[in-house]
Amino acid sequence: MVPIWRRILIIILGLTLISCNLDSAVGFTELQYTLHAPIEITSDNDLLVFEGSGTYEDPYFIEGFNISASDSYGIYVTNITKHLLIRNCFIDASFNSIFVKNVFEGEIRIENNICANSERENGKGIIVFTTYSIAIQNNLCYDNEAFGIVVTFCHNALIRQNHCFRNGATGISIALVTNLGIYDNECYENSGEGLYIGGIEFAVLLNNTCSRNGEEGVIIEGSDGVIFKNNTISENGKRGEFLQSSDYCFFKFNLFENNENYGLSLDDNSDSNQIYYNYFEGNFNPEKSQAEDNGEENSWFQEIEQIGNFWDNLNGNFDYSIVSLDSLTQSLLILFSIRNT
């Protein structure tokens, strides 16, 4: 188990970036970009050269640039109070393509950008750090040395419709964020996890796809009350999803399919979670359980509606055995989930 603080430290310490192939863009049409030098914004005065007025309705915007640099960030933003939109840019720089930190008043929106091919150690496409309100939507982040998107120590974060693939570590990594929404993202073929969240006070993860990643599709660590719904977690190199030290989470209408290990695994510090109306197919060894539960008082069966989960290897039985390793006796215990067809 990697402690959350170690993960956060790894996220913070590296700073790197990208070059890109438009033919690989998912859902993007080729845009005409204007060549531009790297952009560094350290105060509101630096925004005056861009269009807009800095209000929510009329933010300053950085748009349509092709930024390439061998020894700096692509776009660096810090210590502003105005609203800013970064949109439709192609960025190839030696450090992080888009780096935002210490923005406590204005909202930052990062939309429709291409961030790829970072070469330096711990390279990332987009990183946002200590910022109050952030929306990251419909960006392509791929072939980075480490992370596609990183958000940490933030409040009010929306991560939506991004495509993060073939990154050297994690597709999307979110830590120590309050009021988090992660919707409609695709994280696939990353060397590590597809999606990681840790130390989250409230989060909704809806309609995301995490497939063919080298390790887990999803890791949720140290996060209570997470709503995980309508997600597809398939063909990952380890577990489909791993829940660590997280309580009172809710899993419903998810597909866990063809993962190398358990479709869903709960560690011995994950308690009082609810898991039902999910579909488990082809995970791990078809002759064994597709799920693992080492916590306490986790519910795999909804008493009021009398419904559990669908298991493709139920083989006509009414009860389904979920493996648990008792920490005291080290013997295999059996829990039960029920399929209602």
Structure letter (DSSP) for residue 268? T
* 60 assigned to some structural domain: no
Q: How confident is the model over 51-65, as a mean pLDDT?
A: 97
Q: What predicted TM-score, i.e. pTM, was given to this entire model?
A: 0.88
Q: Is the pLDDT of residue 276 over 80?
A: yes
Give 158-214 pLDDT, tens digit per residue. Answer: 999 999 999 999 999 999 999 999 999 999 999 999 999 999 988 999 999 999 999
CATH classification at residue 264: 2.160.20.10
* 69 assigned to some structural domain: no
* 188 assigned to some structural domain: yes
Give 69-128 pLDDT, tens digit per residue. Answer: 777 789 999 999 999 999 999 988 777 899 999 999 999 999 999 998 767 777 789 999
* 160 assigned to some structural domain: yes
**DSSP helix/strand/coil, 24:** helix
**Cβ(70)–Cβ(33) below 8 Å:** no
- Tally of structural domains, the chain: 1
For 115-169, the DSSP string reads EE---STT-EEEEEEEES-EEEES-EEES-SSEEEEEEEEEEEEEES-EEES-SS
* 124 assigned to some structural domain: yes
Beta partners for residue 62, in sequence order: 86
d(CA 97, CA 329): 51
* 74 assigned to some structural domain: no
Q: Which domain holds residue 176?
A: 4-25+83-88+96-338
* 193 assigned to some structural domain: yes
* 38 assigned to some structural domain: no
